[in-house]
């Protein structure tokens, strides 16, 4: 094929960076898996959720979040977050028991990974905040109903 080789990024919220590769009249699509452990870790949460294995969902979710926390390279903060996480693990079990919440976690993690991939720290912080707010709201409601 004749012509100049051109590469252009396809816009959107894909977890995997996706590009058009054009050469002359020919167009191909190239998908690239992002480097690092964050995306595979998010997918591990999804796989465990699809299998309905709540213990595996909880473990994979913890791994995903601590990859993010530890990436800040602030060991004291990571230790504090680990202590808080351990103290609240029972509430995550309540949260993950709901298929609706597990679906929300998938969507939240996708938004967060997408923001990180785009290196958009404001979107990443907003995605994390929305993720926390939804979790707290859901668990609070479940505990309120259980307390009746």
Q: Which residue has the tokens 């996480």?
A: 85
Q: Which residues of the chain have pLDDT under 70?
A: 1-2, 12-17, 31-36, 38-39, 148
pLDDT digits (tens, 9 = 90+) for 75-116: 899 999 999 999 998 888 888 888 999 999 999 999 998 898
Task: Count CB-CB contacts under 10 A for residue 95.
Answer: 21
H or E segment to which residue 31 belongs: strand 26-31
């Amino acid at each position: 094929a004749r012509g100049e080789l051109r590469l252009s990024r396809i816009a959107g919220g894909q977890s995997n960076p996706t590009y058009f590769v054009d050469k002359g009249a020919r167009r191909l699509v190239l998908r690239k898996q992002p480097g690092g452990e964050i995306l595979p870790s998010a997918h591990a949460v999804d796989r465990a959720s699809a299998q309905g294995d709540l213990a595996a969902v909880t473990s994979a979710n913890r791994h995903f979040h601590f990859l993010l926390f530890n990436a800040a390279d602030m060991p004291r903060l990571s230790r504090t977050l680990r202590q808080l996480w351990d103290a609240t693990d029972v509430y995550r079990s309540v949260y993950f028991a709901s298929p609706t919440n597990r679906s929300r976690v998938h969507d939240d993690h996708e938004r967060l990974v997408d923001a990180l991939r785009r290196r958009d720290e404001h979107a990443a912080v907003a995605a994390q905040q929305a993720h926390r707010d939804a979790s707290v709201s859901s668990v609070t409601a479940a505990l309120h109903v259980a307390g009746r």
